[in-house]
Structures are given as structure tokens and as C-alpha cells.
Homo-oligomer: A and B are copies of this chain.
């Protein structure tokens, strides 16, 4: 293997590490969408969106094809949904973990007063 797997994973995560790109992937999960529609759904300048789309395209996560004067993007292959779901699960687990710790600490403080 020329590129170790953990490098590839890190690279993948780095690609996903931007709110706009997450939004794009989430939106494309429902159905393919023209840029115009993505633009309407996400708060971002056209040029910024293009750049993020370019990143996703270069990485092979989405593919684009022209339809007349507009460009339509769609997810390319892989199970992105699963990854996003795992992220969501992990986030909620981490947050509840922190909450438990917090309430525990608060309880301890109350008792010590």
C-alpha cells in the first residue's frame, strides 16, 4: 500500500472538516441537486460553494454533470450516510457524557456545602 490506511482516513476526515461541505453532503443524500439549489439552501457565496464543491469533486465523493446551463451534483457511490450517522451518534454520546460529568460535579458540590 503506497498510502497507509490511516493517512487516507485522516485525509477523508480533513475533507469533511468544514460546515459547508457537510451541508452539501447532507443535502445530496436526499437527491442530486443543481448548484443553484445548494446555493439557496446553504449560507455561502457562490464562489465559496464552488470551491467546496471542487474539493469534494477532487476527492471523488461527489460527481457533477451539466444539464443545460446548470450543473447538477450527486453523491458518487460510497455510503456517506453511514459515516455521517456515526458522527452524529458519537457527538450525542460525547455530549451526554459531558452532561453526566457535569451533573455529577454539581451534585458533589451541593453535598460538600
**Which A residues are within 8 Å of any B CB, using their own CB?**
4-19, 21-23, 26, 60-61, 76-80, 82-91, 93-94, 97-98
Q: Is the CB of A90 within 8 A of B79?
A: yes
Q: How many copies does the complex hold?
A: 2
- Chain B residues with CB under 8 A of A6: 19, 22-23, 26
Q: A6-B23, A22-B13 are known contacts. Are A83 and B90 too (CB-CB below 8 A)?
A: yes
Contact of A88 among B5, B17, B21 (CB under 8 A): B5
Report the Cα distance A93→B60, complex, angstroms.
Answer: 11
A71 to chain B, nearest CB (A): 19
A29 to chain B, nearest CB (A): 12
